[in-house]
Structure 1
Amino acid sequence: MTETITRRDAPYESGRTALLLVDMQRIWLEPGLDPAHPDRTADHYFHRETAGRVIPNQQRLLGSARKAGVEVLHTIIRSLTEDGRDRSLDHKLTPIHIPPSLEEGLPPPELAPVGDEILLPKTSSGVFNSTNIDYLLKNLGIRYLVVAGILTDQCVDMTVRDGADKGYLVTCVSDACAAPTPERHGNALKAFGGYCWVTDTETVVSRFDALGSVRGAA
């Protein structure tokens, strides 16, 4: 039987929906830890956005998703080796290297995986390029992929575009993403909006809660 879906904002389905948090790591989120941007103090736009808006919204998404039985996955930038020899050429040239032993490379406690939630290390901007996430999502029976994270115009952008090309119905939660400037954030949403449904935390939480209600009544 052929599945017919006519809208990017088609209703989520229980057992076929996943939430993916992209690169929510202490090294990027805590002022003073990112060696490439020592100038970004706590009052920098990026840190004000992540601390005041993005992290609280992602906590809401996580809480609702977990209650509803929505599959939760996390991806982080992290090399598989301590010396980073497995990194992509782009990460070697940039350079970006977070060794497995670096605790700051993990998500902050409030966003950390719980239970057996899947954590995927990657060494490229696109999680579909340097992990087996497509294989995992298909094994999990996922069709609806909800994406939130940083940076809106880099790793989130790649995740949205590649996810759409792989055949997933992608949702980008705009107020649970951030970039270093409001212009970069806004321009990215406009640029990749044709590949996904761009909506907000409140809307997605309502949808997750509805899935949870159906699950609880079953």
Structure 2
Amino acid sequence: MPSYGQLSQLLAPETTVLLTVECQQGVVGPDSALPELAREARKSGALANVARLVAAAHESGVQVIHAIAERRPDGRGANRNARLFHAAERLPVQQLTGTAAVRVAAPIEVSEEDFVVRRLHGLSPIQGTEVDALLRNLGCRTLVVTGVSANVAVPNAVFDAVNRGYTVVVPSDAVAGVPSDYTPVMIRHTLALVATIATTDEVLGALGRPRRTRVRPA
């Protein structure tokens, strides 16, 4: 784990952006299209930790970007070149533009200063979206990546950010995937090779926010 000094240097508010990945009602909310992932995000405390990080970012002057995956009702422009996309078309809850499914999920709070970036295609919150241009215009040097899932979108975000020259910090307990034992293995053996891995409390401490003892939800 990085030292407090190292994290504090990486997470200077004026050059840091917090990215939440697919933390939307149709993915991690009570009526999720992916109930197993939604349960894991809540049971593990990952979603609560994302909310804590967002609240701290708002108070610390760190810019927040919420990356949302959605599709048009007619499906135009959406990918169909992988099993994942075909499976998504058959899910009972669709991530349709303008519906509740593509709103940021509680307990995460969205402020007027936040950016909400919506994509209609692909697997990555960064590739082919507005995120990279926004990061550059904001003077971002360090990107904090949180959200779901550890299986697909989060690794895509980390790799894309690193390939574009950003330093990435991943709060390991603010990321969720399925099955539950996959996420720590993926973080340890893959993301740790290219990103700085920390805990939510360590990131909060580096941002000058008090730590607290987290009680894992039942």
The TM-score by the shorter chain falls in which range?
A: 0.7 to 0.9
* 1:205 maps onto 2:204 in alignment: yes
* 1:60 maps onto 2:52 in alignment: yes
Question: Post-superposition shift, 1:143?
Answer: 0.4
Question: Post-superposition shift, 1:137?
Answer: 0.4
Does structure 2 retain, via aligned residues, the 8 Å contact 1:172–1:197? yes
> What amino acid does structure 2 have at the position aligned with 1:82?
P
> What's the C-alpha RMSD, in Å, of the aligned pairs?
2.2
> What amino acid does structure 2 have at the position aligned with 1:145?
L
> What amino acid does structure 1 have at the position aligned with 2:163?
D
Does structure 1 retain, via aligned residues, the 8 Å contact 2:146–2:174? yes
Question: Post-superposition shift, 1:111?
Answer: 1.3
Identity across aligned pairs (percent)? 22
Deviation per CA, 1:30-89: give whole Å up to 9, x if none: 34531xx5xx4xxx585154255012211211111111100011001112x331202123
Q: Larger Cα Rg: Structure 1 or Structure 2?
A: 1
Kindly tell me the number of residue pairs found equivalent between the two proteins. Answer: 195
> What amino acid does structure 2 have at the position aligned with 1:83?
D
Q: Residues of 2 paired with 1:46 and 1:110: CA distance?
A: 13
Question: Post-superposition shift, 1:92?
Answer: 4.7
* 2:12 alignment counterpart: 13
Distance 1:164 1:45, change over 3 A: closer
- Determine helix, strand or coil for the equivalent of 2:10: coil
* 1:89 maps onto 2:80 in alignment: yes
Deviation per CA, 1:98-146: give whole Å up to 9, x if none: 2212212211242142113100112222112131211110001000100
- Determine helix, strand or coil for the equivalent of 1:129: coil
Unaligned ranges ≥5, structure 1: 1-7, 211-218
* 2:176 alignment counterpart: 178
* 1:69 alignment counterpart: 61
Give runs of aligned pairs for residues 1-218 of structure 1, distance below 5 A: 10-34=9-33, 37=34, 40=35, 47-51=39-43, 53-79=45-71, 81-90=72-81, 92-96=85-89, 98-122=95-119, 123-189=121-187, 190-209=189-208
- Determine helix, strand or coil for the equivalent of 2:127: helix
Deviation per CA, 1:174-211: give whole Å up to 9, x if none: 1011112122212220212111001110000111127x
Unaligned ranges ≥5, structure 2: 1-5, 210-218
Q: Residues of 2 paired with 1:127 and 1:62: CA distance?
A: 17
* 1:214 alignment counterpart: none
